[in-house]
Structure 1
Amino acid sequence: MSNINNYGVDMNKITLTELSFSTVKELSDEVAATCSGGTASLFRDANFQGGGITFSNSDANLTNNNFNDATSSIVITGNQRWRFYKNANFQGPSITLGPGRYARVARGVNDSISSLKRLS
């Protein structure tokens, strides 16, 4: 008899598909994204208000998500830094932010982000 995690499972009499893995837990999308490097959440208004959108990867053109020139606050989770660009396709002036909560983005950046890049 094989002993898997002290459950006393007889592998000669049971198949793997019959085993119950009750201790295995599915991660939420947010937790999984944090484990894989984090996310950048953009909000239309200051103080994380006005509706938002969350990214786990770079986006070269926020127009595709109806979020071009609309960001007023940002939340970055995980351990990655993100670069936010004034123009689409990662062009123009940019600002780089690390993990944290930014209730008001800097003057000159507010309502002018058109692309974002997750930095490695």
Structure 2
Amino acid sequence: MNSKTLTEVSFSAVKELNDEVAATCSGGAVSLWRDAGFQGGRRNFPGSDATLVNNNFNDVTSSILITGNQRWKFYKDANFRGPSITLGPGRYARLPRGFNDSISSLKRLS
């Protein structure tokens, strides 16, 4: 075994990934847009979020992009409550009736 300590080992083969690439590698992410057709402001979420109020994105989502292989559940109320819709990977340029501008929390499903 080599006598080098961990601090002496070079990790030149390790590359830092940006948030979107890392999220995709770890099972995907979801991007929410304020307007239909993937327009307006956008927020990316690599994991569940119990309240979009904290992200200034409560009740404003009009289109969704889901990457990776995971399904996501979107709730009308914070803390994963109220009516919900489950969506799989794909592009949703317009949300189904009743969910436009009314998503308050989201959960990545296993």
Q: Same fold (TM over 0.5)?
A: yes
The reply on whether 1:65 has 2:44 as its aligned counterpart is no
Q: Is residue 2:88 matched to residue 1:103?
A: no
Q: Which moved more, 1:39-48 or 1:27-36?
A: 27-36
Query: Structure 1 counterpart of 2:44, which letter?
Result: T
RMSD (Å), alpha carbons:
1.9
TM-score (norm 2): 0.87
Q: Secondary structure at the match of 2:103?
A: coil
Matched, 1:81 2:71: yes
Deviation at 1:28, TM superposition (A): 2.1
Q: Are residues 1:31 and 2:57 paired? A: no
Name stretches of at least 5 consecutive residues in structure 1 with no aligned partner. 1-10
Q: Structure 2 regions of 5+ residues with no counterpart? A: none
Report the number of matched residues.
110
C-alpha displacement at 1:17, in angstroms? 6.1
CA shift for structure 1 position 107 = 1.2
Which amino acid in 1 is paired with 2:109? L
Whole-angstrom CA distance in 1 between matches of 2:14 and 2:81: 44
Identity %: 77
Please identify the structure whose Cα radius of gyration is greater: 1
**TM-score by structure 1 length?**
0.80
Give the superposition deviation at 1:61: 1.0
Q: 1:22 to 1:108 in 2, by over 3 A?
A: same
Question: Distance in 2 between the 1:101 and 1:89 partners?
Answer: 25
The change in CA–CA distance for 1:22 and 1:89 in structure 2 (over 3 A counts) is closer
